């Protein structure tokens, strides 16, 4: 019995001691930054350009950053934060990640058997990966592991797929993809995308992938002026002036597709 009483007494004394130390010697945190920190989404995705949510909250409290850079913040939260800071709300253009590759197992060739470390950069450093195309998605899921929102899925056919409803456009996947296949594009204009990343000539591309852009320019002719840009043998959507969805019907390779 005595031991329980002793422990309880010691516990209470300790708690008091800690409380007093915190009260009189504790570091003074900026109350504004603390309030902001509580409102932050807490995903620590780094999409704002700071090390994490706390860092961004501190920067906003000290006036070094403006609210609205956070890609994963809801409009309500943004409003609250703006009220706290007493500034006008200015939300950045919402973005979404797009995996610009059609090279799943049905389309691209497989040239080697890779059984090394399950990471895209690792695979790329061993003879350029196991897939025939050296520009496409390696399908080992470095992006999926890096995504703080679980928005990227590696399909069973070994290609990454972004779920746009989950994607907040923070760009973490873009920074880890060794092939730079993932692009961050304006969400409002991302209805139609070119799912190919290879700048190679059409015959080279066709040898390794049956779903790559061959640069035939049919889409450019079908779309309005300056809606589709052709760079060498690779078409790309002009996201400032996006084409209508119907343009996807002309693509013979089916690599100009509606966002899935």
Partner 1 sequence: MITQIRFYGGIHPSEGKVSNKEDIINAPLQELYTVPLQQHIGAPAKMVVQKGDHVLRGQLLGEPGGFVSAAVHSPTSGTVKDVTTCLGPAGATLPAVVIESDGEDKAADPLPPFENWQDADPAALKARVGEAGIVGMGGATFPTFVKLSPPPNVKIDTIILDGVECEPCLTADHRLMLETPEKIVKGAQIIGRILGVKRIIIAIELNKPDAIETMTKAAEGTGVEVAPLVVRYPQGAEKQLIYALTGRKVPSGGLPAAVGCVVSNVGTTAAIYEAVCLGKPLYERVTTVTGTPVVKPGNYRFRVGTLYRTALELCGGVSEDPAKIISGGPMMGMAVYSLDIPVMKGTSGILLLSRDELVQYSPSACLRCGRCNDVCPMSMMPGILSAQIEHQKFELAEKWHVMDCIECGSCAYICPAGRPLVQHMRRAKAVVNAKKRAAAAAAAAAAKK
Q: Please, are residues 80 and 86 in contact by the beta-carbon 8 Å criterion?
A: no
Is residue 119 a contact point for partner 1 (CB under 8 A)? yes
CA–CA gap between residue 40 and residue 30 (Å, rounded) = 15
Task: Indicate the residue among 89 and 204 with the shorter CB distance to partner 1.
Answer: 204
Is residue 49 a contact point for partner 1 (CB under 8 A)? no
From the list 127, 166, 188, 229, which residue makes contact with partner 1 (rule: CB under 8 A)? 127
Is residue 55 a contact point for partner 1 (CB under 8 A)? no
In this chain, which stretch among 44-52, 53-61, 122-130, 166-174 interacts with partner 1, using CB under 8 A?
122-130
Residues numbered 136-195 forming contacts with partner 1, rule: CB under 8 A: none
Is residue 14 a contact point for partner 1 (CB under 8 A)? no
Task: Determine what percent of the chain falls in helix, strand and coil, rounding each to the nearest 5.
Answer: 35, 15, 50
Is residue 116 a contact point for partner 1 (CB under 8 A)? yes
From the list 3, 76, 115, 165, which residue makes contact with partner 1 (rule: CB under 8 A)? 115
Task: Indicate the residue among 112 and 244 with the shorter CB distance to partner 1.
Answer: 112
Distance spanning both ends of the chain, measured CA to CA? 67
Q: Please, are residues 256 and 220 in contact by the beta-carbon 8 Å criterion?
A: no
Is residue 202 a contact point for partner 1 (CB under 8 A)? no
| DSSP-derived secondary structure letter, 248 | G
Is residue 128 a contact point for partner 1 (CB under 8 A)? yes
Is residue 129 a contact point for partner 1 (CB under 8 A)? yes
In this chain, which stretch among 91-99, 114-122, 166-174, 223-231 interacts with partner 1, using CB under 8 A?
114-122
Task: Give me the DSSP letters along 85-138.
Answer: HT----PPPPEEEEE----STTTB-B-----S-S-HHHHHHTTT-SBS-SSS--
CA–CA gap between residue 167 and residue 180 (Å, rounded) = 17
Kind and range of the H or E run holding 154: strand 152-154
- Rounded to 10 degrees, the C-alpha dihedral 128/134/137/141 comes to 10
CA–CA gap between residue 203 and residue 157 (Å, rounded) = 24
> Minimum distance from CB of 119 to partner 1 (Å)?
7
Q: Please, are residues 251 and 237 in contact by the beta-carbon 8 Å criterion?
A: no
From the list 66, 79, 84, 122, which residue makes contact with partner 1 (rule: CB under 8 A)? 122
> Minimum distance from CB of 105 to partner 1 (Å)?
17
In this chain, which stretch among 3-11, 111-119, 185-193, 246-254 interacts with partner 1, using CB under 8 A?
111-119
CA–CA gap between residue 202 and residue 162 (Å, rounded) = 27
In this chain, which stretch among 2-10, 12-20, 107-115, 250-258 interacts with partner 1, using CB under 8 A?
107-115
Is residue 105 a contact point for partner 1 (CB under 8 A)? no
* Binding footprint of partner 1 on the chain (CB under 8 A): 111-112, 115-117, 119, 121-122, 124-130, 134
């Amino acid at each position: 019995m005595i031991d329980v009483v002793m422990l309880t007494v010691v516990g209470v004394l300790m708690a008091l001691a800690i409380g007093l130390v915190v009260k009189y010697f504790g570091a003074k945190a900026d109350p504004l930054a603390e309030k902001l920190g509580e409102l932050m989404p807490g995903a620590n995705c780094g999409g704002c350009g700071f090390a994490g949510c706390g860092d961004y909250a501190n920067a906003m409290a000290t006036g070094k950053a403006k609210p609205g850079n956070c890609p994963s913040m809801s409009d309500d939260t943004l409003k609250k934060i703006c009220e706290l800071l007493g500034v006008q709300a200015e939300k950045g253009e919402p973005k979404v990640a797009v995996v610009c590759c059609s090279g799943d197992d049905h389309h691209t060739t497989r040239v080697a058997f890779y059984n090394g470390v399950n990471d895209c950069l690792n695979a790329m450093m061993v003879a350029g990966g196991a897939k025939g195309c050296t520009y496409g998605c390696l399908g080992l899921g470095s992006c999926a592991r890096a995504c703080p929102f679980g928005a990227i899925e590696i399909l069973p056919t070994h290609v990454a797929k972004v779920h746009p409803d989950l994607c907040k456009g923070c760009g973490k996947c873009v920074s880890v993809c060794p092939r730079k296949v993932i692009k961050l594009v304006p969400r409002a204009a991302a209805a139609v995308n070119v799912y190919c990343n290879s700048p190679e000539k059409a015959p080279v591309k066709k040898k390794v992938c049956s779903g790559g852009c061959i640069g035939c320019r049919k889409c450019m002719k079908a779309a309005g002026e300056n809606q589709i840009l052709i760079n060498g043998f690779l078409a790309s959507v002009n996201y400032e002036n996006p084409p209508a969805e119907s343009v996807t019907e002309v693509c013979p390779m089916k690599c100009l597709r509606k966002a899935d």
